[in-house]
Chains A and B, each alone.
Chain A
Amino acid sequence: MGRSAVMAPVPSKLYSDDVSLLVVLLDTNPFFWSTASLPFSKFLSHVLAFLNSILLINQLNQVVVIATGCNSCNFIFDSSSVPANPNLENGRMPALCSNLLQKLEEFVTGDEKLSKEVLAAGIGSSLLSGSLSMALCYIQRVFRTGPLHPQPRILCLQGSPDGPEQYVAVMNAIFSAQRSMVPIDSCVMGAQHSAFLQQASYITGGVYLKPQQLDGLFQYLSTVFATDLHSRRFLQLPKPAGVDFRASCFCHKNTIDMGYICSVCLSIFCKHHKKCSTCGSVFGQAQSDGNSATDRKRKTPET
């Protein structure tokens, strides 16, 4: 790399192509982890070893961890922030471990408390849209720091199934990531494939993987997801077998490959209807000042 010849290190010379900022979205949904084949503690040990290896690959690499809970999301760890305890060195083990684990524990207990106040509606999915939005806001902040910044990417470690009520928000986040050229990698640990993450990785140019053996998670993480964006051009990373872009109809939630679209609100129907259930427009006639009440609700494929 030729860094040894410089006497006083000039930052621009150290910023080679492969400096990366990795934002990890960690799924902490207890409803998933209680039934998963890999216990949460073992999973954390794989992830911590992986995060440490990222920080070792390049001294300027940065890691940020955001926890995706069942009722809330929050920042857990940022390797570039000043540690609370000045005795422990910045960003290196064991500071990485203890800081991260402590904050994660606080987050999980807080998340669980919120669960008691909330009705059990739509439980089973975690708030992926929230953590994706927070990750993208953080990445925008990194872009604002100037021309020299690490190449950001997002890694979703997701186990919970997709929540259909988050469809619009997740798609908004995906398009924003595509515009900012931030790839979204996905490692799905649940039983089924995640359609949201397949589309996310396809649209943004990231890697989608569903590991077959969860015991070897660290190997999957370090061989597939550890490489920076510049080096990915030289590697053969797993390509998805097929991405399902079919839509689901608003009336029955079936996946359809031919359907009818309302020209006003773009809702998808599988059969011909006289009236659109989302926006209230009557088809075939000039519309009146439609159904105003239905505009307000966040209409998603579920409702």
Chain B
Amino acid sequence: MNDMEHRKTNDGKGRRLDGEEEEEEEDEDEGNGRGLDAWERAYADERSWESLQEDESGLLRPIDNKTIYHAQYRRRIRSLYSSTTTARIQKGLIRYLYIVVDLSRAASEMDFKPSRMAVVAKHIEAFIREFFDQNPLSQIGLVTIKDGLAQCLTDLGGSPDSHVKALMGKLECSGDSSLQNALDLVHGYLNQIPSYGHREVLILYSALSTCDPGDIMETIQECKKSKIRCSVIGLSAEIFICRHLCQETGGSYSVALDESHFKELLLEHAPPPPAIAEFAIANLIKMGFPQRAAEGVISICSCHKEAKVGGGYTCPRCKARVCDLPTECRICGLTLVSSPHLARSYHHLFPIPPFDEVSLSLLNNPHQRSSRACFGCQESLLIPGNKPTLCVACPKCKQHFCLDCDIYIHESLHNCPGCESFRHSKIVSVTEE
């Protein structure tokens, strides 16, 4: 038995190695000789028409993108959920994130249309808005790398518009890229933030090299000591130094294949990452909850230094007027938030478990009356012919939901309608624990 297995693995390995070599040779051939673009390869090599199928009567069955998409989404949710609950890793909710944008020569490459720099800027804007939506108490700063130097574009702040405006005004690229200068700059700034905050850097790297004034390994060790979590999203190819940086500091490294993949990778950094417990010291932060002033009140606002009519907030400590929240009072320095800002982060602390797929044998059971329609949207779960389609069920309240509701509930709503609509189930779950 062992010999057989050994032989099999050898064969497998041998074949695999051969296969890899063949693939490499093919790639080189294409790279040198034919120079096919990805869209051309879809016709020449991948033959997308062969994945169509016919059903019993000879009609074409449409490619069911929905189930593929749903299966991908479920895999992602399962991996996220299992890693957080089994390891009891808490999430870093107060984040200080620096986004480092590479504006070197490589950013003017046009493999992303119209240029890498333009694509990056567009998606950073969407990312910043999503980031503040999910992390209202966090702050972002922008740093650019140009001509081998790193410059701070905007300081750490909580207002999305100021960051976006500053970035859009400075989109020119030239020169080399220097990873060490960027890390040194960010390290200096992040050392000044309070100890309860989580320090993060997200580097959007287009270049394939880095020109550093000193030993970058030392810089990486310093970042590791200061507990800064560095992540990199590459736009060209995988680089060893980026991989090493991310491994040392506990961040994530990924390389984007195309624009939509880049967007996906970027937005993965918006929800709070699992926080490593020793990284941030737990602290009680003093915050104020200002009341909204009545509509007709006239006062001088402390952020714009001009008289404004109504609609602002009054700092509870020094009674200065501020325009919007969350912000830091300019007069007394108190952090001002409203309770919805804190509530925005509560769903990270109380996630709903992923729903289980309902096996088709259970669905065919005539006693199961509840599976006729999705509990959330009342869409029928039966396709014509009274055959049940794929649906999912909440492990706590056992209600059935369609696939689209499953995605909506886990990505946006963060409430299970079934668990919320039955008081009995709520009390059961509390007494069980």
- Chain A: residues with CB nearer than 8 A to chain B? 70-75, 78, 114, 117-119, 121-122, 127, 129-131, 133-134, 136-138, 140-141, 144, 165-169, 171-176, 179-180, 199, 203, 239, 241-247, 256-266, 268-269, 272-273, 276, 279, 281-290, 292, 295-299
Contact = CB atoms under 8 A, between A and B. Distances in A.
Interface in B390-433: 404-405, 408-409, 412-417, 420-424, 426-427, 430, 433
B287 interface: yes
B88 A283 contact: no
Interface stretch (B1-9, B21-29, B141-149, B276-284): B276-284
B282 A141 contact: no
Interface stretch (B207-215, B250-258, B259-267, B345-353): B345-353
A172 B414 contact: yes
A71 B295 contact: no
Contacts of B388: none
Contacts of B405: 137, 140-141
Contact of A171 (B137, B340, B412, B416): B340
Interface residues of B, number: 65
Interface in B354-394: 374-379
Contacts of A127: 420-423
A295 B379 contact: no
Contacts of B416: 133
A247 B339 contact: yes
A263 B289 contact: no
Contacts of A261: 284-287, 342
A296 B408 contact: no
28 contacts: A71-B423, A114-B422, A118-B427, A127-B422, A130-B420, A133-B417, A134-B417, A136-B408, A137-B409, A137-B413, A137-B417, A141-B379, A169-B420, A171-B343, A172-B413, A245-B291, A246-B291, A246-B339, A258-B287, A258-B334, A259-B286, A263-B94, A265-B90, A276-B282, A279-B90, A286-B281, A292-B88, A299-B349
B317 interface: yes
B421 to A, nearest CB: 3
Contacts of A288: 277
Given A73-B421, A140-B404, A246-B289, A172 B284 contact: no
A6 to B, nearest CB: 31
B292 interface: yes
Contacts of A269: 284
A40 B7 CA distance: 80
A144 to B, nearest CB: 6
A2 B141 CA distance: 53
Nearest to B275: A264
A288 B279 CA distance: 10
Given A144-B404, A246-B289, A247-B342, A176 B377 contact: no
Closest A-B pairs by Cβ, 7 of them: A137-B376, A130-B421, A281-B282, A263-B196, A141-B377, A171-B343, A130-B420
A253 to B, nearest CB: 13
Contacts of B412: 176, 179-180
Contact of A72 (B277, B283, B422): B422
A216 B422 CA distance: 33
Contacts of B404: 140-141, 144
Contacts of A134: 375-376, 417, 421
A247 B316 CA distance: 13
A173 B277 CA distance: 30
A262 B90 CA distance: 13
Contact of A296 (B342, B415, B433): B433
Given A118-B427, A176-B413, A71 B422 contact: yes
Contacts of A259: 286-287, 289
A297 B429 CA distance: 9
A295 B91 CA distance: 12
B113 interface: no
